[in-house]
């Protein structure tokens, strides 16, 4: 157990033990140094490590933006404990963020409102727990990444339902960019088999870091939601070792990857609950990436109907329970023969 967490055993239990109302000032006692690497609590559920001669760019690893998505929280917790024990080299400045501690404690996706829709200026001032937490997570990232610099950001999640492709990533939209081969290799070596290219900006955490820093940032979906203690962490061993390679500044390990790269899909439609007797025609247990044929009626409301045209689409994140104005799913199509950069 590190002195950093005393009297708690690790980053996660320390984070869940005392949940403050507002932003917590970093305390001097919350610093430890291990083999020249400084570890510091920078706020609630926020821990950074800084080696003396770091490689760039800086790295943000977040988990638990949705409180019940526990597998990546457990992986981040393991990584932090092992780094503090000196079990792995640290040659990159890293910020580890546990997104929504009260929701983790409650084993819920969120407390008052979906945190992963609040990463924009106008949404961080509303009532409830999450707007304030979004502001805090943004402030943590801004304190960590100096002005004019960029970062890499992996926001780790698990999905509500099963999936025809178990591990996949969402690449936020920035005009005229392609997903770099290095990132595709890193994701593939982590077990990720598909990347969804967003078609417009989003107020997700990874969407925010992409817009703020032109960051190589991803929402990474790592399988299905299970409660704490019930995850198959062995299935995330590749992800963990790739994150440790990044933390160690060992890009060579990633560059040398020669396996199959993830299939890329273009988001062609974001389905929004219109609030006008909106009806999503997708069964609750439909796995992500299920193909919908031309002519299929995906949704309808009092005024409109969306029918698949031209060529089949695949449905990802279908959710008929979201409120008006919220995303009820994504429609994607495979992207053939994309040029690699």
Residues in binding site for Zn(2+): 66, 69, 157
Q: Of the candidates 108, 141, 109, which has an alpha carbon nearest to the alpha carbon of residue 124?
A: 141
Alpha-carbon distance 270 to 146, whole Å? 33
Q: Does 240 bind Zn ion (CB under 5 A)?
A: no
Residue 138, Cα to own-chain centre: how many angstroms? 14
Q: Which residues are annotated as a binding site?
A: 66, 69, 157
Q: Which is nearer to ligand LFNQLBSZ, 161 or 333 (CB)?
A: 161
Q: Of these, 44, 58, 66, 314, which contacts ligand LFNQLBSZ (CB under 6 A)?
A: 66
Alpha-carbon distance 162 to 130, whole Å? 27
Q: Is the link from the previous residue into 283 a cis peptide, with omega within 30 of 0?
A: no
The SS3 assignment for 311 reads coil
Q: Does 117 bind Zn ion (CB under 5 A)?
A: no
Candidates 27-35, 135-143, 150-158, 311-319: pick the segment binding Zn ion (CB under 5 A). Answer: 150-158
Radius of gyration for the chain, computed over Cα atoms and rounded to the nearest angstrom: 20
Q: Of these, 70, 77, 100, 204, which contacts ligand LFNQLBSZ (CB under 6 A)?
A: 204
- Residue owning tokens 């919220």: 326
Q: Of these, 153, 157, 240, 314, which contacts Zn ion (CB under 5 A)?
A: 157
- Choosing among Zn ion, ligand LFNQLBSZ, none, which partner's interface includes residue 120 (Cβ < 5 to 8 Å by kind)? none
Q: Of the candidates 175, 225, 185, 273, which has an alpha carbon nearest to the alpha carbon of residue 66?
A: 225
Dihedral of alpha carbons 68, 73, 75, 78, sign = negative
Q: Which is nearer to Zn ion, 34 or 320 (CB)?
A: 320
Q: Which residue is nearest to Zn ion (CB)?
A: 157
Question: Which distant-in-sequence residues (6+ apart) come within 8 Å of 340 by Cβ?
Answer: 178, 181, 184, 261
Q: Which is nearer to Zn ion, 76 or 254 (CB)?
A: 76
Candidates 64-72, 80-88, 243-251, 324-332: pick the segment binding Zn ion (CB under 5 A). Answer: 64-72
Provide the minimum distance between the beta carbon of 313 and ligand LFNQLBSZ in the complex, in angstroms, as a whole number.
16
Segments in the chain forming alpha helices (H): 11-17, 70-84, 101-106, 129-144, 181-189, 205-213, 237-247, 251-255
What backbone torsions phi and psi does residue 338 show, to the nearest 5 degrees?
-70, 140
Q: Is residue 112 classed exposed, middle or buried when 0-12, 13-18 and 19+ CB atoms within 10 A define those classes? A: middle
- Choosing among ligand LFNQLBSZ, Zn ion, none, which partner's interface includes residue 247 (Cβ < 5 to 8 Å by kind)? none
Q: Does 133 bind Zn ion (CB under 5 A)?
A: no
Near ligand LFNQLBSZ in 105-124, by CB under 6 A: 116
Q: Does 66 bind Zn ion (CB under 5 A)?
A: yes
Q: Does 168 bind ligand LFNQLBSZ (CB under 6 A)?
A: no
Q: Does 167 bind Zn ion (CB under 5 A)?
A: no
Active-site residue list? 221
Alpha-carbon distance 235 to 256, whole Å? 22
Q: Does 157 bind ligand LFNQLBSZ (CB under 6 A)?
A: yes
Provide the minimum distance between the beta carbon of 217 and Zn ion in the complex, in angstroms, as a whole number.
15
Provide the minimum distance between the beta carbon of 12 and Zn ion in the complex, in angstroms, as a whole number.
17
Contact residues: ligand LFNQLBSZ, CB under 6 A: 66, 116, 157, 159-161, 170, 202, 204, 206, 219, 317, 319
Contact residues: Zn ion, CB under 5 A: 66, 69, 157
């Amino acid at each position: 157990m590190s002195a950093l967490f005393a009297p708690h055993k690790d980053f996660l239990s320390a984070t869940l033990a005392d949940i403050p109302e507002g932003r917590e000032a970093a305390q001097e006692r919350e610093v430890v140094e291990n083999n020249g690497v400084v570890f510091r609590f920078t706020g609630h559920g926020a821990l950074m490590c800084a080696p003396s001669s770091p490689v760039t760019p800086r790295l943000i690893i977040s988990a638990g933006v949705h409180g019940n998505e526990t597998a990546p929280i457990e992986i981040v917790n393991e990584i932090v404990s092992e780094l503090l024990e000196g079990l792995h080299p640290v040659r990159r400045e890293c910020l580890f963020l546990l997104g929504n501690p009260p929701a983790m404690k409650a084993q819920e996706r969120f407390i008052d409102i979906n945190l992963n829709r609040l990463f924009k200026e106008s949404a961080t001032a509303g009532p409830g727990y999450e707007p304030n937490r979004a502001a805090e997570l943004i402030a943590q990232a801004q304190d960590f990444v100096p002005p004019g610099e960029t970062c890499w950001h992996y926001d780790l999640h698990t999905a509500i339902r099963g999936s025809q492709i178990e591990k996949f990533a969402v690449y936020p939209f920035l005009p005229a960019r392609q997903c770099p081969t290095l990132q595709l290799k890193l994701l593939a070596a982590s077990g990720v088999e598909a990347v969804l290219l967003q078609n417009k900006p989003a107020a997700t955490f990874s969407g925010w870091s992409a817009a703020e820093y032109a960051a190589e940032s991803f929402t990474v979906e790592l399988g299905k939601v299970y409660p704490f203690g019930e995850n198959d962490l062995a299935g995330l061993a590749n992800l963990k070792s790739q994150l440790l390679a990044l933390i160690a500044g060992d890009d060579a390990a990633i560059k040398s990857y020669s396996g199959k790269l993830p299939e890329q899909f273009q988001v062609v439609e974001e389905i929004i609950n219109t609030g006008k007797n909106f009806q999503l025609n997708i069964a609750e247990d439909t796995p992500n990436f299920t193909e919908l044929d031309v002519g299929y009626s995906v949704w309808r409301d009092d005024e409109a109907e969306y029918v698949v045209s031209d060529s089949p689409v695949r449905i990802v994140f279908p959710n008929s329970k979201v409120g008006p104005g919220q995303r009820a799913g994504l429609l994607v199509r495979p992207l053939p023969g994309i040029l690699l950069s």
